[in-house]
A and B are shown apart, each in its own frame.
Chain A
Amino acid sequence: MRSPYFQAVLMKLAKNRAFWVIVITLVLVCLFHYAEVLGMPGTTYPSFHFGLTRHTFDRILFFIPMIYAAFLFGRRGALITSFVALAAMLPRAILISPVAADALLETGGVFAVGMIASWGAWTRVEEKEKTRAALLKLQSAHDILQHYMQAVRKSEKRQNILNTIANLLGESLETKSILRKAVHMISELMEGEIGLIFSLDEESQKLQLVASEGVSEEFIRAVDGQRVGEGLYGEVARTHQPMVVDSASGVPWLSMPETSSMQIEAQLIVPMIIKDRIRGVLCVATRRPRQFSLDNIELLTAVGSQIATTVENAFLLEKERRDAQQLAVSERSCRQMFENASDAILVHDLEGNITAANEAAAKLTGYSREELVKMNATVLLSGETINMAGEVRHKLMENLPVEQPYEQHLLRKDGSQAVLKLTTSLVTENGKPRGFQHIARDVTKQKQEEEMLAKTIEGSPLPTFAINQQHKITHWNKSIESLSGLKKEEVIGTDKQWAVFYAEKRPVMADLIVDGASAGEVETYYGDKGRKSPLIEDTYEAEDFYPTLGGDGRWLHFTASPIKDDTGKVVSAIETLRDVTEERRMQESLRYYLSQITTIQEEERKRIGRELHDDTSQVLYALSRQVDNFSRNNTELTPSSSAFLVELRQQLNNMSDGMRRFIHELRPPMLDDLGLLATLRWQLDNFEKRSGMESNLVVSGVERRFATEVELTIFRIVQEALRNVEKHARASKIEIGIEFDEGKTKVSVYDNGVGFDSGENLADLPRAGKLGLVGMEERVHLLDGRMEIDSEPGKGTRVMIEIPM
Chain B
Amino acid sequence: METISILLAEDHVVVRQGTRQLLEREQDFEIVGEAGDGEEAVSLTSQLKPDVVIMDISMPKLSGIEATKQIKAALPATVVLILTGYDYDEYIFSVLEAGAAGYLLKSVSGDELINAVRAVYAGEPMIHPKILSKMMGRFKTPVATPVLTTSPPPLSEREMEVLKVATKGMSNKDIAATLFISERTVQAHMRSIFNKLGVSSRSEAMIYGLKKGWFSIEDVP
A binding-site residues for B, Cβ under 8 Å: 613-614, 617-619, 621-622, 624-626, 628-629, 631-633, 653, 656-657, 660, 664, 669-670, 672-674, 678-679, 681-682, 685
Contact = CB atoms under 8 A, between A and B. Distances in A.
- 5 closest cross-chain pairs (CB), A and B: A625-B18, A622-B14, A618-B12, A678-B90, A653-B107
A678 B111 CA distance: 31
Given A628-B109, A656-B85, A681-B90, 5 more contacts: A614-B12, A621-B107, A632-B111, A660-B85, A674-B65
Nearest to B59: A673
B63 A629 contact: no
A629 B18 contact: yes
B14 A618 contact: yes
Contacts of B90: 670, 674, 678-679, 681-682
Give the size range of B's interface with the partner: 20 to 34
Given A660-B85, A670-B91, A678-B94, A629 B14 contact: no
Contact of A622 (B12, B25, B65): B12
A618 B15 contact: yes
B contact patch SS: helix
Contacts of B107: 621, 624, 653, 656-657
Interface in B52-106: 57-58, 63-65, 85-86, 88-91, 93-94, 106
Interface of B: 12, 14-15, 17-19, 21-22, 25, 57-58, 63-65, 85-86, 88-91, 93-94, 106-107, 109-111
A440 B203 CA distance: 102
Contacts, number: 78
A243 to B, nearest CB: 102
Contact of B88 (A629, A672, A682): A682
18 contacts: A617-B85, A618-B12, A621-B15, A621-B18, A621-B107, A622-B14, A624-B107, A625-B106, A628-B22, A628-B109, A629-B18, A629-B110, A656-B85, A660-B85, A673-B64, A673-B91, A678-B90, A681-B90
A621 B85 contact: yes
A280 B57 CA distance: 117
Contacts of A674: 65, 90-91, 94
Nearest to B112: A628
A617 B85 CA distance: 9
A628 B109 CA distance: 7
A380 to B, nearest CB: 94
B96 to A, nearest CB: 12
A673 B15 contact: no
Contacts of A633: 25
A614 B89 CA distance: 22
Contacts of A681: 90
Nearest to A677: B90
Nearest to B58: A669
A376 B195 CA distance: 126
Contacts of A631: 110
Nearest to B21: A629
Max chain A Cβ within 10 angstroms of own Cβ: one of B14, B57, B58: B14
Contacts of A653: 107
Max chain B Cβ within 10 angstroms of own Cβ: one of A628, A669, A682: A628
Contacts of B25: 632-633
Contacts of A617: 85
B200 to A, nearest CB: 23
A622 B15 contact: yes
Contacts of B111: 632
B158 to A, nearest CB: 37
B57 A673 contact: yes
A140 B98 CA distance: 154
Contacts of B65: 673-674
A626 B18 contact: yes
Contacts of A625: 15, 18-19, 21-22, 106, 110
Nearest to A674: B94
